[in-house]
Structure 1
C-alpha cells in the first residue's frame, strides 16, 4: 500500500468511525432553545473528546486494515481469490 492510498483509507475509516461515535452519550435538550424552539441539538456534545476517541479507534482499525492488505492472507494476486488469467 502506498502512502497516498494509506492516507485515503485512514480518512475513510476515520469518517465512518466518527459517525458511529457521534451519537454515543448525547441527550437532547428537553425544553429546547427559547429563541427557535429547536430540540434536536445536544446540550453538551463534547466534540473534541469524540474526535480524540475517533482518532484512536480509527488508528487501531487502520493498522488492522494495513496488516490485512499487506499480508498474503487475503490476496487477490494468488490463491482462490485471484482473478482468472486470460
Structure 2
C-alpha cells in the first residue's frame, strides 16, 4: 500500500468533515421558515435537529468519496506528479 493506515484514516477524517459541511444545509427548516420563532433564539436556528440522520448521510457520502480517492491513488496509477499545476519536488 502507498500510504500507512494512519494516513488513510487522516484522509478519511478530512473528507468526512468536508462532506459534513456540504450535507448540513440540505433539508434544514429554520424557525423563521416554519413561522415558529422561539423568543431568545436565533430565527435561523433549525426547528428540529436531525443530528444522527446528518451523521449517517455524511458517513455514507464520505465513504463513497473516500473509496473513490483510495481507488484513484492505489489502482489507477494516478499520482500527484500527474497534476499539472502541482510543484515538482526533487531530492537533492
- Do residues 32 (structure 1) and 34 (structure 2) align? no
2:14 matched to which residue of 1?
12
1:30-59 CA-partner distances (Å, limit 9, x unpaired): 34222x152121111311001001001101
- Do residues 51 (structure 1) and 58 (structure 2) align? no
Aligned residues: 84
CA RMSD of aligned residues (A): 2.5
TM-score, normalised to structure 1, is 0.80
- Do residues 64 (structure 1) and 68 (structure 2) align? yes
* Secondary structure in 2 matching 1:13: helix
TM-score, normalised to structure 2, is 0.75
Which runs of at least 4 in structure 1 moved beyond 2 Å after TM superposition? 83-86
Q: Structure 1: any 5+ residue segments left out of the alignment? A: none
Change (3 A) 1:60 1:31: same
Distance in 1 (CA, whole Å) between partners of 2:65 and 2:77 is 17
